[in-house]
Amino acid sequence: MLDMHEWTEGDVDSNGVNIHFYRTGQGGKPPLLLAHGLTDNGLCWARVASALQSSFDVVMVDARNHGLSDRAPAGLKELASDMAAVISQLGLGTAAVMGHSVGASIAASLAAHYPSAGLSCRSGRSSLEAPTAETEYRTGQATTGRISQPRQIASDAQARRDHRKRQATVSHLAR
């Protein structure tokens, strides 16, 4: 069972667009932003966030046109700008960002468009260990931004399995 009773939620303004988020902490731990896929919202990460909340200040963002965020034109640059607004307005400083599906593209776009943010970008990686600069180079998965200190990052494999289960349930209900 998920322990979400102490989580908070709120909105930040990204160029006139309200972006909704859910948060497991209020600082004191390394921040980790989670970017969802095309058909999800921030709470698709609830199980992952619950597993990581003892080690990270996890922020799950509803991308524009998803969940409780405003409806507005959306391209990767706008979606990355929204994530940058969350980082800035919540005062997260250097943050790790992890995404799956379109969320992985958002994370990569964020790292590309905001290199001074000092991001540690994770997209589609199934390893439980945060990579070092050496493994990033060796595997060809280098990111723009600074590598965070070594910490364990949960596998997004479970999130993908959960996503497939939700899709199957929605398909079944739609029949």
User: pLDDT tens digits, residue range 132-173?
Assistant: 444 343 344 444 333 333 233 334 455 556 666 666 666 556
Domain at 146, CATH number:
3.40.50.1820
Q: For the chain, what is the mean pLDDT?
A: 77
- At position 128, the amino acid (one-letter code) is L
Return phi, psi of residue 157, to 5°: -60, -40
- For the segment 36-57, the average pLDDT, to the nearest whole number, is 94
Is residue 96 situated within a structural domain?
yes
pTM of the predicted model as reported, rounded to 2 decimal places: 0.69
Please name which of 151, 115, 157, 121 lies closest in space to residue 136, comparing C-alpha atoms: 121
Confidence at residue 141, expressed as pLDDT on a 0 to 100 scale: 44
Confidence at residue 93, expressed as pLDDT on a 0 to 100 scale: 87
Give 79-119 pLDDT, tens digit per residue.
999 999 999 999 998 888 999 999 999 998 998 888 766 56
**Domain hosting residue 134, numbered range:** 8-174
Is residue 2 situated within a structural domain?
no
Confidence at residue 30, expressed as pLDDT on a 0 to 100 scale: 93
Is residue 23 situated within a structural domain?
yes
Confidence at residue 147, expressed as pLDDT on a 0 to 100 scale: 33
Is residue 51 situated within a structural domain?
yes
Is residue 34 situated within a structural domain?
yes
Rounded Cα distance between 22 and 128, Å, is 23
Is residue 134 situated within a structural domain?
yes
CA dihedral 15, 21, 24, 30 (to 10 degrees): -30
Distances (CA, A) of 59 to 22, 122, 161, 164: 6, 14, 21, 22
Q: Give the whole-number percent of the chain exceeding pLDDT 90.
A: 54
Is residue 3 situated within a structural domain?
no
Q: Looking at the predicted structure, is the pLDDT value of residue 20 above 70?
A: yes
73 exposure class (CB count in 10 Å sphere: 0-12, 13-18, 19+)? exposed
- Give me 64's structure tokens: 């524009």
Looking at the structure of the chain, the number of domains it has is: 1
Position 4 confidence tier, pLDDT thresholds 50, 70, 90: confident
Q: Which residue(s) pair with 97 in the sheet?
A: 33, 121
